[in-house]
Structure 1
Amino acid sequence: MSIKADSFVDITDVVCPVTFVKAKMSIEDLEDGQILEIKMNEGEPILNVPRSFKDEGHKVVEVNDNNDGTFTVFVEKGGL
């Protein structure tokens, strides 16, 4: 199934904790139920960013390994 994102942010150029801050600012622009697509690096970002979104009440819909050291994560705003 292909997920249609309402917005996209690439955080591969920043490091923790800025990764989550940048992604969080992007999701704040969306309405509840909309999907944010986030491209992030493996390591700390993929461990911390999805968990941080869950802690804030958002739903991580899908996590895809791009097999190039990056991941694409789809988060539904207020999905929990």
Structure 2
Amino acid sequence: MRNFLERDVRRHKREQKEAYRKRKERANHPSRPTSRGGQPTLPPKRAPSALDPPTQKVWREKKGTPAPPPSESGGKSKQ
């Protein structure tokens, strides 16, 4: 009985490997319209979640230049 189970497990693993290999080959096939020239397509970009840290750009101060005061920059040019 044990021998039968071992053989069955080996057969199952082999079938899984073959199925995986076939899936990968099919995904990278150049004639497939979804992929560009056999390149694997990138996963879709994830929508920003509320749990993500805020990604606001911080104005970093360069050496020798002071930070711009927020009150003066009103968006309009001075005349």
TM-score of the aligned structures, taking structure 2 as reference length? 0.23
* Larger helix proportion of the pair: 2
TM-score of the aligned structures, taking structure 1 as reference length? 0.23
Looking at both structures, which has the greater relative contact order when contacts are Cα pairs under 8 Å and sequence separation is at least 6?
1
Structure with max Cα Rg: 2
* Larger strand proportion of the pair: 1
